[in-house]
Amino acid sequence: MKRGISRLHSAFLLSLLLLASALILSGCGDKTADQRKAFIDFLQNTIMRSGERIPALSEDQKQKFGPYVTDYAILYGFAQQVSRAKQDGIQPVVAELTAIRLPQDYITHRDSLRQASGALGVLSQQLQSAKSQADSSKAGLKQPDDLKPLYEKAYNQIVTQPASQLLPLLPGLQSLSQSAVQAGDFLQQQGNNVTLNGVKVKFSSQQQVDTYNGLMNALAQNSQVLSQAQKLQ
């Protein structure tokens, strides 16, 4: 009789354990679904309407999104890199180039433009590395079918499109700024053999004229890069 009671007791405990496990699993499933739903709503109503500048997550949002915080970190990390490339790279170079209105300005702005151009080269490399890292991280994501299409749209808006605009532009803008620096260096090196009077430049030899005209032609051929950069600031 005791053996029978013991077996009934064991069976009862086993049933309770199975029930508790089912409830725990069900609870986890509901939590994950809620986190995914919150993240999807955030992508739809905030990120897709934010353009390239997207917000950092609050602590409350991190709790609500759970594991999808990692998914968002891919977008946010690249958006920060784009912002850096524009603020610390494009804007200073554009400001220096647009300040050059007279031949004398090539001399005046050459040192600051040289520094800005160097920073642009570093940021260009960093942006390329950030794009590769974002693509690799995204490829490793395992997303449910209801999230994946929306995330793809967000990724295209935040990562793919800005990268396709900036990555070809940055080397061109650096080349343009370096040509302007070369023009300033050349004019400075001529000393008394050049006369600068407003928009007029007078050299003492034809060789100087040819060199200067070559530098101006190089600037003119790449001038469209400056217009493109101004639109992306």
pLDDT in the model for residue 22: 36
- Please count the structural domains in the chain: 1
In a domain, 195, yes or no: yes
Question: What would the pLDDT profile of 15-64 be if each residue is shown by its tens digit?
Answer: 333 333 333 333 444 788 999 999 999 999 999 998 888 999 999 999 99
For the whole model, what pTM was predicted?
0.81
In a domain, 122, yes or no: yes
Is 126 within 8 Å of 81 (Cβ atoms)? yes
In a domain, 197, yes or no: yes
| Segment among 22-31, 164-173, 186-195 with least mean pLDDT | 22-31
Structural domain of residue 226, as residue ranges?
A: 70-232
In a domain, 28, yes or no: no
Is 80 within 8 Å of 126 (Cβ atoms)? no
Backbone angles phi, psi at 195, to 5 degrees: -120, 125
In a domain, 4, yes or no: no
Question: What would the pLDDT profile of 98-115 be if each residue is shown by its tens digit?
Answer: 999 999 999 999 999 999
What is the mean predicted confidence (pLDDT) over 166-194?
95
Is 117 within 8 Å of 92 (Cβ atoms)? no
In a domain, 65, yes or no: no
